[in-house]
Homo-oligomer: A and B are copies of this chain.
Amino acid sequence: MIGRHLLADLWGIDAARLRDGALLRQCLVDAARVCGLTPVAGPVMHEFPGGGVTGFILLSESHLSLHSYPEKGFLALDLFTCGGSDPRDGLAVFRDRLQPAREDITVQARGRETP
C-alpha cells in the first residue's frame, strides 16, 4: 500500500463557516501541520460568487482538498497521505473548527500491490 486516502463528507455545518475562505484555508494548513506533512504548493483557494469555497494543498505525501456547499451545509474533504502519517489527525482539525452534525467517512487504501 502506498497511501491512505480519507474521504470525508461532512454535513450540517454552519453556512457562514463554509463561506469563510480564510477559515477553510487555515484548516488545510493546520491539518497538514498536525499530520506532519510537507506542502509543495498552495494552499490554492477559489471562492465562487454563490459563496462556495474550493481549495487544495499539494504535498510531498499527496494532497488535501476541500469543496464547500454552504447552501447544503456540506463539505467534501479529501485527506490523501502517503507514508506514515494518519489522515484522521487532519480530520480532527476540520471537526473542531467546523462542527459537522453528521459525517460519512471512507478510508481507501491507495496503491495496493495485490488488490
Whether A85 is near chain B, meaning CB under 8 Å from some CB there, is no
Contact assessment for B76 and A7 in the assembled complex, using a CB-CB cutoff below 8 Å? no
A7 nearest in chain B by CB position: B108
Interface residues as binary, A70-106 with B (CB distance below 8 Å gives 1, 0 otherwise): 0010101010101000000000000000000000101
A62 nearest in chain B by CB position: B67
Which of B2, B3, B63, B76 contacts A56 (CB under 8 A)? B63
Binds B, one of A15-23, A28-36, A42-50: A42-50
- Chain A: residues with Cβ within 8 Å of the partner, total of 35
Chain B residues positioned under 8 Å from A46 (CB to CB): 40-41, 58
Contact assessment for B58 and A56 in the assembled complex, using a CB-CB cutoff below 8 Å? yes
Known: A62-B67, A67-B63. A72 touches B5 (CB 8 A): no
Whether A14 is near chain B, meaning CB under 8 Å from some CB there, is no
**Which positions in A face B, CB cutoff 8 Å?**
2-3, 5, 7, 9, 40-42, 44, 46, 48, 54-56, 58-60, 62-63, 65, 67, 69, 72, 74, 76, 78, 80, 82, 104, 106, 108, 110-112, 115
